[in-house]
Amino acid sequence: MNIIVCIKQVPNTTDVRIDPVTNTLIRDGVESVINPFDAYAIEEAVRIKERCGGKVTAITMGPPQAENALKEAIGLGCDEGVLVSDRKFAGSDTWATSYTLACAIEKLETYDVILCGKQASDGDTAQVGPGISTHLDIPQVTYVKKISEINEKSAKVERMTEEGYDVVETPLPCLFTVVKEINTPRMPSLKGMMRAKSAKIIKWTAADLEADPAALGLDGSPTRVVKIFTPEPRKGGEMISGSPAEVAKELAELLKGEVV
Amino acid sequence: MDYLLSESQVMIRDLARKIAQEKIKPVAAHYDESEEFAWPVMKILAESDLFGVYLPEQYGGLGGGILDMCLVTEELSRACGGIALGYAGTGLGTLPILLHGSEEQKKKYLPAIASGKRLAAFCITEAEAGSDAGSIKTTARKEGNKYILNGTKQWITNAGEAEIYTVIALTDKAKGVRGASAFIVEKGTKGMEFGKKEKKMGIRASATREVIFTDCEVPAENLISREGMGFIVAMKTLDTSRPGVAAQAVGIAQGALDCALDYSRTRVQFGQPISSFQAIQHMLADMGTQIEAARALAYSVARMVDSGAKSVSKESAMAKLFASDVAMKVAVDAVQIMGGYGYMRDYPAEKFMRDAKITQIYEGTNQIQRNVVAANMIKETLKK
Ligand SMILES: Cc1cc2nc3c(=O)[nH]c(=O)nc-3n(C[C@H](O)[C@H](O)[C@H](O)COP(=O)(O)OP(=O)(O)OC[C@H]3O[C@@H](n4cnc5c(N)ncnc54)[C@H](O)[C@@H]3O)c2cc1C
């Protein structure tokens, strides 16, 4: 089984600061880590390998230092890492990013399962996983909380919903985005870390991917970030007190006044 | 302080620290209270390869030495000295095989220990043979191609949980300590049983039980080294493992200091944090200084062991005795700094104090360590 896990390096903080002029994340002086949701995808990928045999390839698009995230993934049980890095990718939105990653995945020989975290902790869009499956034209199941059955041809998974969960059967290849409930990621192993230290990371540029140049980076991004801001906290509501009958009457009057 | 650790030692220390802080610290109070053996934590240590740091690569280890083992023990003990002992006790039970075992014995037993699949234990103490380990009564009688063991070992760390036991027993009662031999006994061997689990003051997550042998048949190939070498095997094992007790003590002391230091900065009395009082500051300074001195000595002796020094008895006794006395003092002071809160089980300070005490007692009491140090010092003057 060939398993691919897409990971992203993100700033290690829940309190991300934004440059008010460029509307982009301030990354200086902030330690980079693997996107917390992707840690669950890595763990699940390694577990599938342990169940079915095969190989796990971790793949990331990012700056050269994203190589560290791939090495960390190897320390956690992945077999190899692919870094897709080029200045031409700068400014990619989720559409261009998923196109680029899909091109890289197609360049790999074969794949049966693609795993992604449900979203990245910096952008929170949850779009890149589904975007990749769209570009590759394969099925996707998002918010997976359990992979109950899996073999070379198909998988049966539980997909988390607000009310409970759906049981979904899908042929492979398929892309899954996973939620935290799916597993408890293991600690790195010393042997994995030693292997990671000497592991050679495969590096691909835009030219290697044979991608459509117009679909990459800022040019290939149909969306623009116009403004990022912290919304004002909601002001407290208005309390109405009195007997239930009085409260109901006053509320009805208020709603009438607002013409709801 | 920079101890010029190698790149892989830094990696080992950092991983052990991460596991200790993220996976052990949150459950330390639970296991102290319930006195259960922390199997889920052992599994994490196993999967992270920490059980193999000091074992040779050809047996599935990482090829490091006693210093590597000490780094792990220290970090784990900083979170819980009891859980750490599941790890360190396995090291103690493994050393006789590593130091004196045959190639076949190493091939058979070390890989499962390196991967953490099987824990180990070391059995010498008996009801009437504590400090005076030479007066053990457990016997091993040779019959054909096996030995028949009879006797009861007491207060054996990891007993009941471990799979591999190294046992010191008399093959020739008439010869006393020269008639002692070391054996490998696997859990499940007919005639081997465990006594009830002891209720202890501290390190309560560690399992301590009797190991009882009643006509227990052990294959002759499980004899370590030769008949009559048992005491030498035991002494060499303890000389090699004592820096590990020192490391456990350093970890416990550091854990106690960590919590006292944190607390002193947030506890306000007389309108200011208690850390602004010089009386508290001087205690903190002494604690920090003593811990660093103990750590420096423990690491130096571990390095001396790893360098292959011929005799390390005096130095490893010094490290064990100094570090464990520091741990006891620091832990008592940590409780003092925290006042009544330090005495409450809601904070970990009192647990560190209970855990610290054992380091002055086992693997030879500190009185015995002082005997060893002095005897060696006197012997050295005679040689001049
Ligand atoms: C929690 C725990 C775990 C243990 N784990 C193991 C284990 O895994 N394997 C194992 O084999 N053993 C184990 N032991 C046994 C341990 O090593 C002994 O308890 C220790 O060596 C001391 O022996 P004792 O308790 O019989 O004390 P004793 O020897 O009875 O000593 C009592 C007191 O007399 C002092 N004393 C004795 N002789 C002298 C002397 N010559 N000079 C000065 N003072 C002296 C001692 O220092 C002590 O203060 C464990 C013990 C405990 C409590």
**Are residues B377 and B241 located together in one domain of the fold?**
yes
Pocket perturbation via mutation, ligand 1, pick of B361, B366, B371 by most ligand atoms within 8 A of CB: B361
Q: Which of B362, B363, B372, B373 to mutate to test the pocket of ligand 1 (most atoms within 8 A of CB)?
A: B362
A124 in a structural domain: yes
Contact B44 A186 (CB under 8 A): yes
Q: Which two three-digit tokens encode residue A98?
A: 């998923």
| B18 has a chain A CB within 8 A of its CB | yes
Q: How much is the average pLDDT of B133-158?
A: 97
Does residue B146 lie in a domain region? yes
In a domain, A220, yes or no: no
Write the CATH number for A50. Answer: 3.40.50.620
> What distance in Å separates residue B163's CA from the closest CA in chain A?
23
Distance B357 CA to ligand 1 centre (A): 12
Alpha carbon distance A44, B239 (integer Å): 44
Both B175 and B255 in one domain: the answer is no
The per-residue pLDDT string of chain A (260 residues; one tens digit each, 9 = 90 and over) reads 999 999 999 888 666 677 777 666 676 777 888 999 999 999 999 999 999 999 999 999 999 999 999 999 999 999 999 999 999 998 888 999 999 999 999 999 799 999 999 988 877 788 999 999 999 999 999 999 999 999 999 999 999 999 999 999 999 999 999 999 999 999 999 999 999 998 999 999 999 998 898 989 988 899 988 877 777 788 878 888 899 999 999 999 888 888 76
Question: Which residues 166-205 of A are in CB contact (within 8 Å) with B?
Answer: 186-191, 193-194
pLDDT in tens, B323-362: 999 999 999 999 999 999 999 999 999 999 999 999 999 9
Chain A residues lying within 8 Å of B111, measured CB to CB: none
Q: Is the CB of B165 under 6 A from ligand 1?
A: no
**Do the chains contact at A190 and B48, CB–CB below 8 Å?**
yes
For chain B, what is the radius of gyration of the CA atoms? Answer: 21
- Structural domain ending residue among the three candidates B201, B227, B253: B227
Quote the pLDDT of residue B10.
96
- Do B221 and B104 fall into the same domain? no
3-state DSSP of B233-283: HHHHHHHHHHHHHHHHHHHHHHHHHHHHHHHHHHCEECCEEHHHCHHHHHH
- In-domain check, residue B1: no
- Total length of chain B: 384
* Residue A228 near residue A100, CB atoms below 8 Å: no
Residue A248 resides in a domain: no
Asked whether residue B2 is domain-assigned, the answer is no
Residue A119 belongs to some domain of the structure: yes
Instruction: Confirm whether B320 is domain-assigned.
Output: yes
Average pLDDT estimate for B291-295: 98
What does the pLDDT read at residue A260? 64
Q: Which atom of ligand 1 is nearest to the CA of B133?
A: 21
* Residue B46 within any structural domain of the chain: yes
Contact at CB, A191 and B8, closer than 8 angstroms = no
Q: pLDDT grade, residue B131 (50/70/90)?
A: very high
Q: Is the CB of B367 under 6 A from ligand 1?
A: yes
Q: Which CATH number goes with the domain that contains B84?
A: 1.10.540.10
Instruction: Quote the number of domains for chain B.
Output: 3
3-state secondary structure chain A: CEEEEECCEEECCCCCCECCCCCCECCCCCCEEECHHHHHHHHHHHHHHHHHCCEEEEEEECCHHHHHHHHHHHHCCCCEEEEECCHHHCCCCHHHHHHHHHHHHHHCCCCCEEEEECCCCCCCCCCHHHHHHHHHCCCEEEEEEEEEEECCCEEEEEEECCCCEEEEEEECCEEEEECHHHCCCCCCCHHHHHHHHHCCCEEECHHHHCCCHHHCCCCCCCCCCCCCCCCCCCCCCCCCCCCHHHHHHHHHHHHHHHCC
- State how far residue B18 is from chain A, nearest Cα, in angstroms: 9
Which of B 54-73 lie inside 8 A of A, CB atoms? 62
- Residue range B38-46: mean pLDDT, rounded: 98
The answer, yes or no, to whether any atom of ligand 1 lies below 6 A from the CB of B156, is yes
Q: Answer yes or no: do B53 and A186 touch at CB < 8 A.
A: no
Residue B371 Cβ < 6 Å to ligand 1: yes
Residues A196, A193: Cα–Cα separation, whole Å: 5
Q: Of A17, A159, A175, whose CA–CA distance to A101 is shortest?
A: A175
Residue B350 lies in a domain: yes
Identify from A187, A189, A191 which residue to disrupt to test chain B contact, counting B C-beta atoms within 10 A and taking the largest count. Answer: A187
CB B93 within 8 Å of CB B85: no
Q: Catalytic pick from B104, B198, B363, B380?
A: B363
The answer to whether residue B104 is domain-embedded is: yes
Same domain, B90 and B32: yes
Distance of residue B204 Cα from the nearest chain A Cα, in angstroms:
25
Q: Say yes or no: B78 and B157 in one domain.
A: no
Q: What is the CATH number of the domain that holds B127?
A: 2.40.110.10
Give a yes or no: residue B375 inside a domain: yes
Do the domain assignments include residue A95?
yes
A246 domain-assigned: no
* Domain total in chain A: 1
Is residue A159 one of the residues assigned to a domain?
yes
**Res. B64 pLDDT band, cuts 50 70 90:** very high
Give the pLDDT band of residue B369 (cuts 50, 70, 90).
very high
Q: What ipTM did this prediction achieve?
A: 0.86
Is B136 close to ligand 1, i.e. is its CB under 6 Å away? no
pLDDT digits (tens, 9 = 90+) for B81-125: 999 999 999 999 999 999 999 999 999 999 999 999 999 999 999
Residue B342, domain extent: 231-382
> Atom 38, ligand 1: which residue's CA is nearest?
B131
pLDDT score of A237: 82
Q: How far is the CA of B48 from the CAs of A10, B18, B78, B169, B295, in angstroms?
A: 25, 11, 18, 35, 24
Q: Which of B208, B227, B246 is the last residue of a domain?
A: B227
Alpha carbon A74 to chain centroid distance?
18
Same domain membership, residue B102 and residue B53: yes
Cβ separation A190–B18 shorter than 8 A? no
Top mutation candidate among B155, B165, B369 for ligand 1, by most atoms within 8 Å of CB: B155
The DSSP call for residue B129 is B
**Strands, sheet with A174-178, edge to edge from the N-terminal-most edge strand:** A165-171, A154-160, A140-150, A174-178, A113-117, A2-6, A55-61, A80-84, A202-204
Q: Has B363 been annotated as catalytic?
A: yes
Which of B8, B15, B62 lies nearest to residue A188, judging by beta carbons? B15
The alpha carbons of chain A give a radius of gyration, in whole angstroms, of 22
- Beta strands A2-6 and A113-117 are parallel
Dist CA B349 CA B32 (whole Å)? 13
Q: What chain B residue is nearest to A75 in terms of C-alpha separation?
A: B48
Q: Are residues B130 and B114 in the same domain?
A: no
Q: What is the mean pLDDT of residues B163-172?
A: 98
Which of B8, B12, B18 lies nearest to residue A187, judging by beta carbons?
B18
What does the pLDDT read at residue A247? 93
Say if B13 is an interface residue toward chain A (CB within 8 Å): no
Chain A residue with minimal CA distance to B50?
Answer: A190
Q: Which of A189, A193, A194 sits opposite B47 (nearest CB)?
A: A189
The answer to whether the Cβ–Cβ distance between A193 and B11 falls below 8 Å is yes
Nearest CA to ligand 1 atom 2: B155
Considering B119, B146, B170, which residue would you say is the last residue of a domain? B119
Set of chain A residues whose Cβ sits within 8 Å of the Cβ of B22: 187
Partner-chain contact B49 A191, CB within 8 Å: yes
Q: Do A190 and B53 touch (CB under 8 A)?
A: yes
| B195 shares its domain with B300 | no
Mean pLDDT of chain B: 97
Please tell me which residue of chain A has the smallest CA distance to B14: A190
In this structure, the answer to whether residues B283 and B372 fall within a common structural domain is yes
Task: Domain of residue A199: give its range.
Answer: 2-215
Does residue A226 lie in a domain region? Answer: no
Cα–Cα distance, A219 to A90 (Å, whole number): 10
CATH code of the domain covering residue B361: 1.20.140.10
Say which amino acid occupies A253.
E
Q: Do A193 and B15 touch (CB under 8 A)?
A: yes
Q: Do B219 and B264 sit in the same domain of this protein?
A: no
Q: Are residues B62 and A188, on separate chains, in Cβ contact within 8 Å?
A: no
Q: Do B256 and B145 belong together in one domain?
A: no
Q: pTM higher than 0.90 for the full model?
A: no
Query: Does residue B369 share a domain with residue B313?
Result: yes
Nearest to B44 among A187, A190, A191 (CB): A187
Q: Which residue of B has its CA nearest to A188?
A: B48
Give the nearest ligand 1 atom to B157 CA. 8
pLDDT score at A228: 73
- What count of CB pairs under 8 Å joins A to B? 33
